[in-house]
Amino acid sequence: MENWVCMKSTLRVVRKFFRFSRQIISAVLDYRRSVWKAGLHEDYRAKAEWLQRWSRRVLDALDVEWSCEGAPPERGMLASTHVSYLDILVIAAQLKAVFVAKSQVRRWPLVGWVTSLAGTLYVSRENRGDVKRVAEAFGPVIEQGVVAVVFPEGTSTDSHEVRPFYSSLFEPAVAGAFPITAAWVGYKVPEPYRIESHVCFWGDMGFAPHLIRLMCTPSVKAKLVFGQTIELPKERKEVAKALWEDVMGIARKEGYLTDH
């Protein structure tokens, strides 16, 4: 019986790996045709439409079922909680978006390559000048009708906490009077699998072993909840606190926080 369970798990990983690989290859070929050859490699909206199209297909290949609650923003900035690289696919499946990610993501196998194609803005949070550079790039993104997505916790977690939001990336929304919407992302997996190890990508986890664990999981249910929107942000620290409190409330309601 134990050998049969192990065999089923191995077959599941192999099946998902080939489905996933096929979608990634198809996505790159589609990018070459619909974005690069069309001369749209500087067009954030074209890249966002490409990412949305293929995020949905990759989620399907990984047996990730996603749902959305609340009103998604049509412009401005989205400030989301962060527990996994899957967050990018789940958010992109719902929104035409460009992401802001820490500079280390660019060096991740496969993920860094795909996020670069999608127009991701990489930032080194240790370098104040780099934050300013990325902030200045927000204007053209938002003017093209694309939502700029930030993960203001600064790192991913095991989904049972929401770290305080750093306020620095909210500065361009304050300066440009762009609306900012809060969002929370959560996941569920069947027993005996655990979201902390099979979905959440945090701490010192390696990408390849984690991807295998994710593919080993029979199914994943992802939920994206949009919270409040601050239409006219005026002070970035107040904005960070208000949005953090909002997603904390969502996380508690969904039953993910361990604090009381």
Q: What token pair was written down for 235? A: 């002070």
Q: 60 φ, ψ to 5°?
A: -65, -40
Q: SS3 letters for 190-217?
A: CCCCCHHHHCCCCCCCCHHHHHHHHHHC
Tokens representing 243 are 């949005």
pLDDT tens readout for residues 96-127 = 999 987 777 777 767 777 878 888 888 776 66
What confidence category does residue 141 fall into, taking pLDDT thresholds of 50, 70 and 90? confident
Q: Tell me the backbone φ, ψ of residue 38, rounded to 5 degrees.
A: -80, 0
pLDDT at 122: 82
- The runs of H, that is alpha helices, within 32-149 are 44-61, 86-94, 111-117, 128-143
Please enumerate in sequence order all residues whose Cβ is within 8 A of that of 228, keeping only pairs 6 or more positions apart, or say none: 181, 182, 242, 243, 246
Least Cα distance to 117 among 65, 55, 175, 63 occurs for 55
pTM of the shown model: 0.92
Q: Two tokens at 250?
A: 């969502």
**In the predicted model, what is the mean pLDDT of residues 213-242?**
96
C-beta of residue 148 within 8 angstroms of C-beta of residue 76: yes
